[in-house]
Structure 1
Amino acid sequence: MSDWKPKRFWTSSAVVETDGGYTVELDGRRVKTPAKAALVLPTRAMAEAVAREWDAQEKEIDPATMPFTRSANAAIDKVTHQHAEVADMLADYGDSDLLCYRATHPRELARRQAEQWDPALDWAAETLGARLQVVAGVVHQPQPAEAVNRLRDMVHALDAFRLAAFHDLVSLSGSLILGFAAARNWRKPDEIWRISRLDESWQAEQWGDDDEAVQAAEIKRAAFLHAKQFHDLSI
């Protein structure tokens, strides 16, 4: 496999207003996505974040160091063209949400789940108008159709940029409710992430940390926090 990377070819970047939003120019040449679409961003703040990433490149371009650019590309090249499919996939989390499935034992784990997860479900009922029901055990039980459909409508209402961010907020946390909670500032993103990891934290307390699992979890945490930032920059 070739390890060739494209070279930096520009001197400076600039954020410019364009039809439908903002874009980034490199020495006057507008940046395009990998699919050759125009890189049109919804806010100046997002465009500035993308421009900073391009400015930070040195001799070679390293996409791994450009998370905002990668997220914007995904929103334009992928989510825009598969909006309904992505929205449906994420909305389906509502019928089997992580927060709804509770341990029956040990008691301490069940207590922690109730203590940390019930407030999120209460928030969703009050703020989103969707009350999901708690289930004992892991066997799937359908949620009330009215609540699921209401959540589905809210997911479909997200534009491509917010939906791209929302995809990671939901899939990384395993919870549609926590995805909405992060997007709508229920609590700080780090706290919401810790809430989503309650079961894993419990297992680590009982059996000790696994170095590979800790490293993988930290990568996911960083991605979750980035998704929150990207979501906020899209508004």
Structure 2
Amino acid sequence: MPSFHHLLIHNANEIRTITMNRPEKRNALCPLLMQEITQALDEAEDSDCRVVILTGAGPAFCAGLDMEHLSTLHATTEEEDRRDSENMANVLRTLYEFSKPVIAAVNGPAIAGGMGLAMLADFTLAVPEAKFGFTEVKLGYVPAIVASFLLRQVGEKVTRELLISGRLIRTQEAYHLGVVTQIVNAEELMQTAYACAQGLLQNSPQAMREVKRLLAMHSKRRLDEEIEDAIEVNAHQHSAEDFREGVQAFLKHRKPEWPSLHTRV
């Protein structure tokens, strides 16, 4: 098994736990972490583990894209912008099409790309205190890649409301929307995740794999097109003035002054 810089891997009884391990950054998704999650899933695909649990170290599940990394994107080339968007698309697509059951144990906030990881698991267990949301518009960014997946889970009206408002929702509301499958107290979260995994070990691995393959096949053609469009939108947005201002305002803890307010459309 490869060694990882930002992940902890634990194997027990055919259950593999993948823990995002950047607690000082609230497990924010830097390029290396996104690549490592994709690599860890690919390695688990070929291993003898039968169920994967995904969780986060520290008080957060995943805070979304690393803001310090986002602040450097305006200085990158168009090719680098595209590669950065492809990293996010790859990790979400790999999780969506992963052939074995995945349980997300959401131990704290799951924001933006972090919510994407949480909702794309087959089972999403979350503590009552967790928060979810796609806050990208508050930074002048576009949650383009997660949009296709969210649309399939909650429908167009809710997707529009969540992505355009950028508001945060609590676990109870996420549960009612079908994004969270079970609410679990923090002290019981990992125990419940392992119990869920143990139950899945009683099922036919071949039958579960075929269920997941069938569901992924239903969406594949449209996802191919939608994700390509989303990558283009994200890569283009990296050069937008509102995006640059939003990130700088966040890092400097001030209210953004959107340049697009003064631009005639």
TM-score range for the pair, normalised by the shorter chain length: under 0.3
**Is the helix fraction higher in 1 or 2?**
1
Considering only CA atoms, is the larger Rg found in Structure 1 or Structure 2?
A: 1
Q: Which structure: greater strand fraction?
A: 2
